Chain A
Amino acid sequence: MKEKQLARLLVSGPPLLFLIVFFVAPSLIMILTSFRFPGEFGGLAPIMPPLEKAAGEHGFTSDAYQFFFSDFIYAEIFLKSFAVAFGTTLICLILAYPLAVLIARSRKHLRNLMVLLVILPFASNFLIRIYAWMIILGPESALSHFVNTVLGAFGIAPVTLLFSPFAVLVGMVYVHLPFMVLPLYTNLEKHDPSLLDAAQDLGANAWQRFWRVTWPLSLPGVFSGSALVFIPVLGMFAVPDILGGTGDILIGNLIKDQFLGTRDWPFGSALSIMLTLAVLSVAGLTAWLARSATGQRAI
């Protein structure tokens, strides 16, 4: 069966090679970088001591990781980012679910149209969508005036909507909502409507039909959608950058700062490794939960 072996090599070989060179190797480099010293005035300190000059710092060190663990503040940022990611995922789920149900139940042409309408905002430039919220949440906007008038009626001091954690959350939800809708609706579409009819015949009310039939069946979709929202949010820096206030720094901003602000590549790499480990643990945990909840592999 040599032809079959050849075919297998030809088909799986090139992508494998490409990804080893441009994905695996870079990841290894990043791990390596996290164990080096930063250059005195930028870049990295050399691995071997230079021959001409007096040897400064060189070689490998766990300095960057020690720095990470030496202060709780970095763990705090991780926790904060996870909280934002979790909050975004939850809100996306709540907003997306009814829409996904509606799309799944509609007839083919209406369904395609509705899906297209969900994807379409995603087609505009990512930054523009964030910028749009700068306009909407700005202090002189109609929405701000409205909110502050309402708050004023209750005697509460006016709030600024922009440059706040609220703005960051709105931005994150807005950018990621389509990612929750699509896996959900794909899953819901496959549900057998006769199950719901059967439940109704057996006397279940609307809530019971949802909670005991639809929801459990939709769990794989819920998990896929949640993963597609949770993980990107963790690495995002543009939203806090543009919409955030003075306290809104997330792990993505911190990593970006190390490379483009402090010239501390080892620490930036160390942070990236920690983020990777965090994401892998969350993914692993979710997969395990999904499997035990649905009795099947979710992915």
Chain B
Amino acid sequence: MNSPRLLFFLLVSLLPFTTGCTPQNSDAANSAKNVLHLFNWNNYIAPETIARFEKFCKCDLSQDYYADNEEMLAKLAAGATGYDVIVPTGNAIDTLIRQGALRPLDKSLLPNFKNINPAYLDTAFDPGNIYSVPYAYTLSLLGFNKEKIEQLGLPTDTWAIIFEPKYLEKIRGRVTVLDSQRELMAAALKYLGYSVNDTDEKHWREAADLIVRAKPYWAAFSNTSYIKELAVGNLWVAHGYSNDMFQAALDAQKTGRKFTISYSTPKEGAVLAVDSMVLHKSGKRPDLAHQFINFMLDGKNSAELTNLIGSGNPNLDALQYIQPEIANNKAIFPDPELIARLEMLRDLDRKQRRLLSRLWTEIKLR
């Protein structure tokens, strides 16, 4: 009676070879074809845009995703190669430039570059935009269950609502904050009146103490589940990203909830995260990459993402294509005086990273 069992086992073990693929990167077969490899955030490009680009360049767009800059950096460090275009946030671009991992842009291939709002160009980490072109931006801000917060009489324009016990005790267990070392520290530093890029250890400790004091009132640290929890009504205040809040507000509206989700940037200022397109030096098709970047710099294409997820748009040409409710939303397109109070994060060196990591561990443990 051995044969049937042995036969079954052998057949089953031959299955992988019949699926026509030895364990390899599934993109390996693509390397011969006309493929552009894009490494992008989850849900950060509209499907219609991809389809239109593929028709335009007569090529295929292959996308891989990450949910966090650190995840992307870790994967690149883990030897991930072959990406033509990546869309990191400012401080990650900082890192990549310092690591020498990027290819300079050929501006002659990017006639649409002029569409970008000069306010978003010439950043501290990439002066002259040698390596990067702005793609979209988000603000880290506070989202609210509008009716509930009004009912409780709490302020909606300041970080105090998540840091001051006198406000927190009314919303205990109904608040979440971002599970990100940099983001939460930045919010605390801003509230205390310091810059988000302040690296003075004393100021960091002040911020850490502020956080630890408020922590008992918070439900959890959450990077993504707050979207659902807000939309469902379990959470009343959430520290999160502007396009996530847009999503939550939309969800709450669509499911006919009795409350609405509103969101605004605190008056003390906040983190501005500008995601830019860069060329990784291991990419095999810089020609397609430049075509893609120029394509996305066209106002119409750029506006599609904004209309889809409510992301901020640094492209002046895109404004005419953006839906009016979004274009007029001050949380997504802030006034100039608020822009002045927004800051982009810079990267930290290894000693600072270690110190921050220890502070973060203390924050989590106390």
Whether the complex brings A and B within 8 Å at their CB atoms is answered yes
Check A41 against B74 for contact (C-beta < 8 Å). Answer: no
Check A246 against B221 for contact (C-beta < 8 Å). Answer: yes
B99 is an interface residue with CB less than 8 A from chain A: yes
**Given A41-B98, A249-B364, residue A138 in contact with residue B354 (CB < 8 A):** no
User: How distant is the Cα of A221 from the Cα of B328 in the complex, in angstroms?
Assistant: 68
Check B234 against A245 for contact (C-beta < 8 Å). Answer: no
Check B219 against A38 for contact (C-beta < 8 Å). Answer: no
CB-CB under 8 A from B233, the residues of chain A are 140
Q: How far is the CB of A38 from chain B (nearest CB, A)?
A: 5
B220 is an interface residue with CB less than 8 A from chain A: yes
A/B pair count, beta carbons within 8 Å: 87
User: How distant is the Cα of A38 from the Cα of B364 in the complex, in angstroms?
Assistant: 23
**Given A42-B95, A77-B365, A249-B364, residue A262 in contact with residue B219 (CB < 8 A):** no
Check B357 against A264 for contact (C-beta < 8 Å). Answer: yes
User: How distant is the Cα of A246 from the Cα of B347 in the complex, in angstroms?
Assistant: 25
Check B362 against A73 for contact (C-beta < 8 Å). Answer: yes
A74 is an interface residue with CB less than 8 A from chain B: yes
CB-CB under 8 A from A254, the residues of chain B are 361
User: How distant is the Cα of A39 from the Cα of B215 in the complex, in angstroms?
Assistant: 32
Q: How far is the CB of B360 from chain A (nearest CB, A)?
A: 8
List the A residue with the shortest CB-CB distance to B348.
A41
Check B77 against A43 for contact (C-beta < 8 Å). Answer: yes
Q: How far is the CB of A285 from chain B (nearest CB, A)?
A: 26
Check A41 against B347 for contact (C-beta < 8 Å). Answer: yes
What 1/0 flags go to B340-351 for Cβ under 8 Å of A?
000000010110
Residue in B70, B173, B361 whose CB lies within 8 Å of A160: B173
Check A42 against B77 for contact (C-beta < 8 Å). Answer: yes
User: How distant is the Cα of A288 from the Cα of B234 in the complex, in angstroms?
Assistant: 50
A192 is an interface residue with CB less than 8 A from chain B: no
Q: Which of A37, A139, A267 has the most CB of B within 10 A?
A: A139
Q: How far is the CB of B310 from chain A (nearest CB, A)?
A: 26
What 1/0 flags go to B18-41 for Cβ under 8 Å of A?
000000000000000000000000
A257 is an interface residue with CB less than 8 A from chain B: yes
Q: How far is the CB of A290 from chain B (nearest CB, A)?
A: 33
A15 is an interface residue with CB less than 8 A from chain B: no
A197 is an interface residue with CB less than 8 A from chain B: no
Q: Which residues B309-366 have CB closer than 8 A to chain A?
A: 347, 349-350, 353-354, 356-358, 360-362, 364-366
**Count, chain B residues at interface, CB 8 A:** 33
A163 is an interface residue with CB less than 8 A from chain B: yes
Check A261 against B349 for contact (C-beta < 8 Å). Answer: no
Check B356 against A262 for contact (C-beta < 8 Å). Answer: yes
Check B365 against A264 for contact (C-beta < 8 Å). Answer: no
B73 is an interface residue with CB less than 8 A from chain A: yes
Check A244 against B77 for contact (C-beta < 8 Å). Answer: no
Sort chain A's interface into a size bin.
Answer: 20 to 34
A67 is an interface residue with CB less than 8 A from chain B: yes
CB-CB under 8 A from B220, the residues of chain A are 163, 244-246
CB-CB under 8 A from A267, the residues of chain B are 354, 357
Check B354 against A140 for contact (C-beta < 8 Å). Answer: no
CB-CB under 8 A from A249, the residues of chain B are 361, 364-365
Q: Which residues B20-78 have CB closer than 8 A to chain A?
A: 70-71, 73-74, 77
Check B234 against A140 for contact (C-beta < 8 Å). Answer: yes
CB-CB under 8 A from A76, the residues of chain B are 365
A259 is an interface residue with CB less than 8 A from chain B: yes
Residue in B221, B232, B361 whose CB lies within 8 Å of A74: B361
What 1/0 flags go to B207-245 for Cβ under 8 Å of A?
000000001101111000000000011100000000000
Q: Which residues A104-154 have CB closer than 8 A to chain B?
A: 138-140
Q: Give 20 A-B pairs besides A40-B98, A259-B74, A262-B357 with Cβ atoms closer than 8 angstroms.
A: A41-B95, A41-B98, A41-B99, A41-B347, A42-B99, A73-B362, A138-B234, A140-B233, A244-B220, A245-B220, A246-B216, A247-B365, A247-B366, A249-B364, A257-B357, A258-B357, A261-B70, A262-B353, A264-B350, A264-B357
* The 3 nearest A-B residue pairs measured at CB: A163-B220, A249-B364, A262-B357
Which of B's residues lie within 8 Å of A, judged by CB? 70-71, 73-74, 77, 95, 98-99, 173, 181, 215-216, 218-221, 232-234, 347, 349-350, 353-354, 356-358, 360-362, 364-366
25 contacts across the A-B interface (CB closer than 8 A): A41-B350, A42-B95, A43-B77, A73-B358, A73-B362, A76-B365, A77-B365, A80-B365, A140-B233, A140-B234, A163-B219, A244-B220, A246-B215, A246-B218, A247-B366, A249-B365, A257-B360, A260-B74, A261-B70, A261-B181, A262-B356, A262-B357, A263-B70, A263-B350, A264-B353
